[in-house]
Amino acid sequence: MRLVLLLSALLGASLALETFVGHQVLRIQTRNEEEVRQLQLLESLEHLELDFWISPSAPALPVDVRIPAAGVQSVKAFLESQGIEYSVLIEDLQDVLDKEQQDMAESAQRERSTSFDFSSYHTLDEIYAELDHLASEHSFVEKIQIGESYEKRPLYALKFSTGGSNRPAIWLDAGIHSREWVTQASALWIANQIASGYGSDSSITSLLDKMDLFLLPVANPDGFVYTHTWNRMWRKTRSKNAGSVCYGVDPNRNWDAGFGGPGASSSPCSDSYHGPSAESEVEVKSVADFIRNHGNFKAFLTLHSYSQLLMYPYGYKCTRPDDYAELESLGRAAANAIKSVYGTTFQVGPICSTIYQASGGSIDWAYDIGIKYSFAFELRDTGRYGFLLPATQIIPTATETWMGLRKIMEHVLKKQD
Amino acid sequence: MELPPAQFPSRRAAAVAVAFLRYRRGGPGRALRLRELRRARTEDIKDVGHKYYLELELEDVLDKDSTVNCTAEVLYHLGNKNIAPDVQFTLEGELKSTEEADHVFYTRIRSLEKELVAENIPDSHGHVPPELEPLHLLAWVASGYLVWQNSTENTQLQLAQIKHVKQVRRSDEYLQFDYLVLLHEMVSQEIIPWEMTVLWHPRDGVRVTRESRQPGHTSG
């Protein structure tokens, strides 16, 4: 009887539907077979134009139904009179659809302008696409190829240069150890920061007016791809080691600085294997050649993770570099700058006493060929997440790291006069 | 002899002390970590080993404002590298109670229809699903035992990732989880797979009842 009344009410109020304004979606909790039958009866009445998203079948399963605006009150009254429990899943379907349209439009818009989400981790292809994007957006940013990896992937770097000819330059690299994902991610953020800061940020502007910057965000692309495809904990290159089943060389034991000394392994299966000879790894040789050929680098900065350390030479020997006092002082200033952002503390010191003795490292090599301002950063954290730093920490990490790098770059610039 | 906190010997000793402490005082609702190494002193004990005296400030990872001071002593034994270092510590003040969170976790696991199984915590992007966070903390706390037992002055071990965890139902009141974890050894940079069986009860705390280092990670 009640069903007939409901039927009439709905027939009377039905309209030609073009939008979903006022449509509600209810979730109905049936408790027994009788209630399921009631709903099945409702479902069979086609002119009610009820749209069951989940049809009634068994008492334990929920029933979801979209009800045209005109029928909402009547259906609810019917359910209540039968003692059938329900809740409102969607108050107004058109609102939901409108929001969805908006989201999609915004997303498409974002895709056309900047698709790069700096707060998540990306693949090599995505990173390389962003390098192209940055280069196309800024006239003083150029994507250059430093060389090729063992597996023939390009080593792409960004050159920031506002003019001149072979200006004194700063080198910054990340991801030489592929599992240290926050470093490649931070390098991208920093690249964007520098690119968009020229002209508005006085520090970046005065730097790029006098000096060039070279940024290699993925120094070990083969290893990086391997961390995405096979083994998230891969550190080394992916070169084949003659006479061994084990692949790869630790690229930060492969530089020509105390090569083969303490703190590097001679076993190809080790994660700190130094390789058959200095610069045996094409990834290392390419950078070394580039820097040697350029001839005018004043700073060499490299990003690693994790441990929160800011270090200068030496690693291959435990004696102090000639410029110890200046490097220690500059290191402390940079660490203070980092700390000023979120309170993150970095320990400062020479590699050998701060972390461990390690031979064949990049900043030792750079320092020994005359690049005084050579620093290695170990970014967040101190071990809770280690290499698997949550993506939510990428931007905070990049932000604080940038403050430290800036401090160093400002000092280097000052010393150019 | 006074040691600068920035240098690795004191930091390694501090890491061992904190690992031990985390194991002894931690659970699915509490994990302590080092906020600051205030002071470190070392002493060479003839025919015995090296002893480190440490002043530490610790924080609860779930409540960063909650810090506690601690003094600790770590003795690395001479010669035999198979003996775990001796660790003693004194906490100044009380730790916040985790009774409620512990109870919630305990009843939740006990009432599961199927035994819990999970992999790759955190995942490649550092993400831990919220409902698995207690299991993540429990592993980090239990790995403190592995770190303590296997540390020397030349190593620095950290939990890198949970590869696999499986709940094992027991007839007694304890919760049992069999973990396969990856430890990261900082000095050699090796990743070491390690199996461990972890027992927990809100009343008794965490216990590692079985542990077994697994053959080499991959260098292939």
CATH class of segment(s) A119-415: alpha beta
Catalytic residue among A283, A378, A400, A410: A378
Q: Give the predicted TM-score (pTM) of the model.
A: 0.82
Structure letter (DSSP) for residue A379: E
Q: CB atoms < 10 A from the CB of A277, how many? A: 11
User: How does pLDDT run across A146-205, given as a tens digit for each residue?
Assistant: 999 999 999 999 999 999 999 999 999 999 999 999 999 999 999 999 999 999 999 999
Q: Where are the domains of chain A?
A: 24-91, 119-415
Provide the ipTM.
0.95
Inform me whether the pLDDT recorded for A308 exceeds 80.
Answer: yes
A355 touches B: beta carbon within 8 Å: yes
CB contact (8 A) between residue B5 and residue A347: yes
Share of chain A above pLDDT 90, in %: 76
Peptide bond into A324 cis (omega under 30): no
List the beta bridge partners of residue A158: A143, A215
Q: If you count residue pairs, one on A and one on B, with CB atoms under 8 Å apart, how many are there?
A: 93
pLDDT at A106: 66
pLDDT at B217: 61
Domains of chain B: 2-92 (3.10.450.10), 98-213 (3.10.450.10)
Calculate the CA A210 to chain-centre distance: 30
CB contact (8 A) between residue A386 and residue B189: no
Structure letter (DSSP) for residue B96: P
CB contact (8 A) between residue A232 and residue B161: yes
If residue A26 lies in a helix (H) or strand (E), which one and from where to where?
strand A24-29
Inform me whether the pLDDT recorded for A62 exceeds 90.
Answer: no
User: How does pLDDT run across B4-25, given as a tens digit for each residue?
Assistant: 888 999 999 999 999 999 999 9
Cβ contacts of B210 within 8 Å, gap of 6 or more: B195, B196, B197
Confidence of residue A100 (pLDDT cuts 50, 70, 90): confident
Alpha-carbon dihedral A73, A75, A77, A81, rounded to 10 degrees: 180
Tokens linked to B73: 């002593």
pLDDT at A6: 59
Peptide bond into A381 cis (omega under 30): yes
CB contact (8 A) between residue A385 and residue B126: yes
Give the closest-approach CA distance of B171 to chain A in angstroms.
31
User: How does pLDDT run across A213-250, given as a tens digit for each residue?
Assistant: 999 999 999 999 999 999 999 999 999 999 999 999 99
Inform me whether the pLDDT recorded for B216 exceeds 80.
Answer: no
The question of whether A142 is a catalytic residue gets the answer: no
Taking the CA of residue A128 as centre, how many other CA atoms within 13 Å lie in the half-sphere pointing to its CB?
13
> Minimum mean pLDDT among A73-82, A196-205, B200-209: which range?
A73-82
Q: Measuring CA to CA, how many Å separate A8 from each of A1, A18, A52, A74, B124?
A: 11, 22, 20, 10, 59
Share of chain A above pLDDT 70, in %: 93
Question: Which residue from B minimizes the CA distance to A231?
Answer: B218
Cα(A152)–Cα(A172) distance, integer angstroms = 22
User: How does pLDDT run across B108-143, given as a tens digit for each residue?
Assistant: 999 999 999 999 999 999 999 999 999 999 999 999
Confidence of residue A251 (pLDDT cuts 50, 70, 90): very high
Residues 335-354 of A with CB under 8 A from B: 345, 347-349, 353-354
Q: Which chain B residues have a beta carbon less than 8 Å from that of A307?
A: 186
CATH code for the part of the protein at A24-91: 3.30.70.340
Give the closest-approach CA distance of A384 to chain B in angstroms.
8
Give the closest-approach CA distance of B75 to chain A in angstroms.
20
Confidence of residue B79 (pLDDT cuts 50, 70, 90): confident
Structure letter (DSSP) for residue B151: -
User: How does pLDDT run across A105-157, given as a tens digit for each residue?
Assistant: 666 655 555 579 999 999 999 999 999 999 999 999 999 999 999 999 999 99
Number of residues that this document lists for chain A: 417
Tokens linked to B44: 């060479």
